[in-house]
Structure 1
Amino acid sequence: MILEAAMLQVKNDMEKEFEEAFRQASLIISSMKGYITHELQRCIEVEGKYLLLVKWETLEDHTVGFRESNQYQEWKKLLHHFYDPFPTVEHFEQIPL
C-alpha cells in the first residue's frame, strides 16, 4: 500500500466551489483500480489550504492507472483550475514497526 499526499492551495474565495467539485471528483477516484481510500482535510490556520491523502494498492495504480485514464481527464476538468500554485504530489510507504 502507498499513500499519496498533496498539499492543495485553493484560490481565494473559491473554497466552497472547490469542496463541491471535490465531492463529485471523489466518485471518480473511488472507482479506480487499486484505490483503497481517500480523505480531504481543510487547514485550520491557513485559509484555502487542504491536504489530500489517497491510499492506493500500488504506486502504478496512481501514476499509470489513474493518471493515464480517461477518468483523470474528468478529474482535471473538475479540480485543476482551483489551484494556485499547482500542487506537488508525493508518495509514501509505511515503515514496519
Structure 2
Amino acid sequence: MILEAAMLHVKEGMEGEFEAAFRKASHIISSMKGYIDHECHKCIEAEGKYLLLVKWETLEDHTVGFRQSQKYQEWKRLLHHFYDPFPTVEHFKKVAKG
C-alpha cells in the first residue's frame, strides 16, 4: 500500500467552493483501479490549508493509472484552479504501525 500526501493551499475566500468541488471530485478518484481510500482534512491553525491523503495499492496506480487517465482531466478541471501555490505530492510506504 502506498500513501499519497498533498498539502493543499486554497486561495483565500474560496474554501467553501473548494470543499463543494472536492466532494464532487471524490467520486472520480474513488472509481480508479488501485484506489483504496482517501481523506481530506482542513487545518485548524491555518486558513485555506488542507491535507489530502490517498491510499493506493501501488505507486503506479496513482502516477500512471490515475494521472494519465481521462478521469484525471476532470479532476484537474474541478480542483486545480483553487490552489496557490500548486501542491507538491509525495508518496510514502509504511515502515511501522503503532
Superposed pair shares fold, TM > 0.5: yes
Pairing of 1:12-91 with structure 2 (within 5 A): 12-91=12-91
Q: SS in structure 2 opposite 1:86?
A: coil
Segments of 4+ moved more than 4 angstroms: none
1:2 Cα deviation after fit: 0.3
Identical positions, percent:
78
Q: SS in structure 2 opposite 1:8?
A: strand
Amino acid of the structure 2 residue aligned with 1:29: I
2:6 — aligned with what? Answer: 6
Amino acid of the structure 2 residue aligned with 1:76: K
Q: Distance in 2 between matches of 1:56 and 1:23?
A: 19
1:62 Cα deviation after fit: 0.1
Q: SS in structure 2 opposite 1:68?
A: coil
Q: Distance in 2 between matches of 1:45 and 1:96?
A: 28
Any unmatched runs of 5+ in structure 1? none
**TM-score, structure 1 length as denominator?**
0.99
Amino acid of the structure 1 residue aligned with 2:2: I
RMSD: 0.7
**TM-score, structure 2 length as denominator?**
0.98
Q: Distance in 2 between matches of 1:4 and 1:96?
A: 17
Amino acid of the structure 1 residue aligned with 2:57: E
Q: Distance in 2 between matches of 1:77 and 1:15?
A: 16
Amino acid of the structure 2 residue aligned with 1:46: A
